[in-house]
């Protein structure tokens, strides 16, 4: 890991790509418009980026469809596609510090998280998915002896991926790796709040040998470029990570256009249950990490904490102590655990929810929002609010910031009822030393993912995604390939 001084020096020499990447070339938006990319830690301009809209989408989709039909990538031998993607993974590894720095400057994520968590996971995702693609077999159905029924997996065509600002490189890799490995042409629309790292990635895809037109990047806004992709009749699949509100709009757009498949990883309001037979200090440290890591800008953040009443006082003491380790600071400092919020809008959203929580009867026991001073970054503090209940707005709605709601429960049944009382179902965690309880409770939690005596742990080999208003489909694992392939049945009469 580089030192704080080294990261500061590197940031001053960093260059940025600000143009769209279409058919293997960087180019300005057709309308000539741009938007500003701001460093949220300093409020200084990083660069201006092309603001794509319908015209750019039409060009990119037409090229992507043409190259898909040509077969140069879609019909390439799987082993050759694998080798190209492995080369891309190697190039990402060679440039990992640069890519890490781009995300830190662009959206405020701590450089230590980027170097130690995000970039290793990005590289692993491309490597593992590349290695898997020539090991996915077709099937022969058990029909009669006079027929042969073949079941195969085929690429779907043009895939549009819309990715969020909180994990720019990581969330992109979870979609790009399987979509490309399966043989599709891909158009990526990154969030307008953090487009810089994937624009650099575009250069690396060309260097790796991915044919022109197979991978495209269209920076722009959701209501322009995003909507145009969702409504386009030649886009076959739309994969999205973001808010539940936007996810619902994308399903509507798909229905109004060509009924394209829409895969959604939407919002979350994950619960964490603390039972009285757990290791209190370890559980408190995990609870703090689950809400304060990445400034709380995490879809699986356990923002609802339910503690068994018999250990509530002891646990709160340990929790406040653990929270004290999360002080907002310069994300270029490797010792910083919390950077700034991504922009002023998000910072003010966090402030509004803290104020509403107190107005509804919540008790501020740690943190709060310090007075904002222009030119000093969009920082919020780690915040804990006790005496919360499930009727409060800040308990029910996703904040996407470092705000923890704490409630208590008496029985296991009560804990489950509180945890499942949410429109969301992305992640959930529980802490207990009782093995039977761990199995019993995890089975009853209405969530796509459950962590027992931990939080946020995962692996490329396991699926990531939720239920209810948190979406559908899964990223990571072999199940991700299901989103980007069609099943075809060929029935042959041989009698």
Under the banding of pLDDT at 50, 70 and 90, the label for residue 371 is: low
- Residue ranges per structural domain of the chain: 4-266+471-490, 271-459
Query: Kindly report the CA angle at 221 between 425 and 161, in degrees rounded to 5?
Result: 55
CATH number for the domain running over 4-266+471-490: 3.40.605.10
Per-residue model confidence (pLDDT) at position 240: 98
Task: Quick: pLDDT tens for 383-401.
Answer: 999 999 999 999 999 999 9
- Give the chain's mean pLDDT: 97
Point out the catalytic residue in the list 265, 297, 408, 446: 265
A 10 A CB-CB count for 169 gives 30
Task: Give yes or no: 265 in active site.
Answer: yes
Q: Are 205 and 88 in contact (CB under 8 A)?
A: yes
Under the banding of pLDDT at 50, 70 and 90, the label for residue 372 is: low
Task: Quick: pLDDT tens for 285-319.
Answer: 999 999 999 999 999 999 999 999 999 999 999 99
A 10 A CB-CB count for 205 gives 27
What's the CATH superfamily of 271-459?
Aldehyde Dehydrogenase; Chain A, domain 2 (3.40.309.10)
Coil, helix or strand at residue 192: coil
Point out the catalytic residue in the list 37, 125, 161, 299: 299
Per-residue model confidence (pLDDT) at position 160: 98
Task: Quick: pLDDT tens for 20-45.
Answer: 999 999 999 999 999 999 999 999 99
Under the banding of pLDDT at 50, 70 and 90, the label for residue 495 is: confident
Task: Give yes or no: 52 in active site.
Answer: no
Asked if pLDDT for residue 369 goes beyond 90, the answer is no
Give the chain as a 3 state SS string: CCCHHHHHHHHHHCCCCCCEEECCEEECCCCCCEEEEEECCCCEEEEEEECECHHHHHHHHHHHHHHHHHCCCCCCCHHHHHHHHHHHHHHHHHCHHHHHHHHHHHHCCCHHHHHHHHHHHHHHHHHHHHHHHHHCCCEECCCCCCEEEEEEEEECCEEEEECCCCCHHHHHHHHHHHHHHCCCEEEEECCCCCCHHHHHHHHHHHHHCCCCCCEEECCECHHHHHHHHHHCCCCCEEEEECCHHHHHHHHHHHHHCCCCEEEEECCCCCEEEECCCCCHHHHHHHHHHHHHHHHHCCCCCCCEEEEEHHHHHHHHHHHHHHHCCCCECCCCCCCCCECCCCCHHHHHHHHHHHHHHHHCCCEEEECCCCCCCCCCCCCCCCEEEECCCCCCHHHHCCCCCCEEEEEEECCHHHHHHHHHCCCEECEEEEECCCHHHHHHHHHHCCCCEEEECCCCCCCCCCCECCEECCECCCECCHHHHHHHEEEEEEEEECC
Residue 273 is encoded by which pair of tokens? 């249950």
Task: Quick: pLDDT tens for 276-287.
Answer: 999 999 999 999
d(CA 330, CA 109) in angstroms, rounded, equals 10
Neighbour-count burial of 439, counting CB atoms closer than 10 A to its CB (0-12 exposed, 13-18 middle, 19+ buried): exposed
Per-residue model confidence (pLDDT) at position 39: 98
Task: Quick: pLDDT tens for 428-439.
Answer: 999 999 999 999
Helix 119-132 vs helix 168-181: angle between axes, to the nearest 10 degrees?
A: 10
End-to-end distance of the chain based on CA atoms, in angstroms?
66
Under the banding of pLDDT at 50, 70 and 90, the label for residue 373 is: confident
Comparing C-alpha atoms, which of 188, 180, 137 is closest to residue 156?
A: 180
Task: Quick: pLDDT tens for 202-241.
Answer: 999 999 999 999 999 999 999 999 999 999 999 999 999 9
The percent of residues above 70 in pLDDT, for the chain, comes to: 100
Residue 443 is encoded by which pair of tokens? 């089975």
Q: Are 166 and 298 in contact (CB under 8 A)?
A: yes
In a 13 Å sphere around the CA of 414, the CA atoms on its Cβ side amount to 13
d(CA 4, CA 44) in angstroms, rounded, equals 19
Residue 233 is encoded by which pair of tokens? 């009749």
Residue 186, beta-bridge partner list: 159, 215
Task: Quick: pLDDT tens for 58-98.
Answer: 999 999 999 999 999 999 999 999 999 999 999 999 999 99
């Amino acid at each position: 890991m580089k030192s704080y001084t080294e990261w500061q020096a590197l940031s001053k020499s960093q260059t940025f790509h600000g143009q769209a990447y279409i058919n293997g070339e960087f180019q300005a938006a057709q309308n000539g418009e741009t938007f500003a990319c701001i460093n949220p830690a300093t409020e200084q301009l990083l660069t201006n980026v092309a603001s794509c809209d319908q015209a750019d989408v039409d060009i990119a989709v037409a090229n992507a469809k043409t190259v898909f039909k040509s077969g140069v990538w879609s019909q390439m031998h799987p082993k050759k596609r694998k080798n190209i993607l492995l080369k891309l993974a190697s190039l990402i590894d060679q440039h990992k510090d640069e890519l890490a720095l781009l995300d830190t400057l662009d959206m405020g994520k701590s450089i230590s998280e980027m170097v130690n968590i995000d970039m290793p996971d990005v590289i692993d995702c491309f490597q593992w998915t590349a290695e898997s693609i020539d090991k996915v077999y077709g099937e022969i159905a058990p029909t009669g002896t006079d027929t042969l029924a073949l079941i195969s997996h085929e690429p779907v065509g043009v895939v549009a991926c819309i990715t969020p600002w909180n994990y720019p490189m990581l969330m992109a890799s979870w979609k790009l790796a399987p979509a490309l490995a399966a043989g599709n042409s891909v158009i990526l629309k990154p969030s307008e709040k953090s487009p810089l790292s994937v624009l650099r990635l575009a250069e690396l895809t060309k260097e790796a040998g991915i044919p022109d037109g197979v991978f495209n990047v269209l920076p722009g806004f959701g209501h322009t470029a995003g909507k145009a992709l969702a409504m386009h009749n030649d886009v076959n699949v739309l994969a999205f990570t973001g808010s539940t509100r936007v996810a619902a709009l994308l399903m509507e757009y798909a229905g109004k256009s060509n009924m394209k498949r829409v895969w959604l990883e939407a919002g979350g309001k994950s619960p964490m249950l603390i039972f009285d037979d757990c290791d209190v200090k370890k559980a408190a440290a995990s609870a703090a990490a689950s809400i304060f890591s990445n400034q709380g800008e995490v879809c699986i953040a356990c923002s609802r904490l339910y503690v068994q009443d018999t250990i509530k006082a002891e646990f709160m003491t340990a929790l406040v102590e653990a929270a004290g380790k999360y002080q907002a600071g310069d994300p270029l400092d490797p010792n910083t655990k919390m950077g700034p919020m991504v922009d002023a809008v998000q910072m003010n959203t966090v402030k509004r929810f803290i104020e509403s929580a107190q107005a509804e009867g919540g008790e501020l026991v740690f943190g709060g929002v310090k007075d904002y001073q222009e030119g000093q970054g969009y920082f919020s503090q780690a915040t804990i609010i006790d005496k919360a209940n499930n009727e409060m707005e800040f308990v029910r709605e996703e904040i996407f910031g470092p705000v923890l709601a704490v409630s208590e429960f008496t029985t296991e049944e009560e804990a489950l009822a509180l945890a499942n009382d949410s429109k969301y179902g992305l992640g959930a965690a529980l802490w207990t030393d009782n093995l039977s309880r761990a199995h019993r409770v995890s089975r009853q939690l209405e969530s796509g993912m459950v962590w027992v005596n931990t939080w946020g742990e995962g692996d490329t080999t396991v699926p990531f995604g939720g239920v209810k208003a948190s979406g559908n489909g899964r990223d990571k694992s072999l199940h991700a390939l299901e989103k980007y392939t069609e099943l075809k049945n060929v029935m042959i009469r041989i009698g």
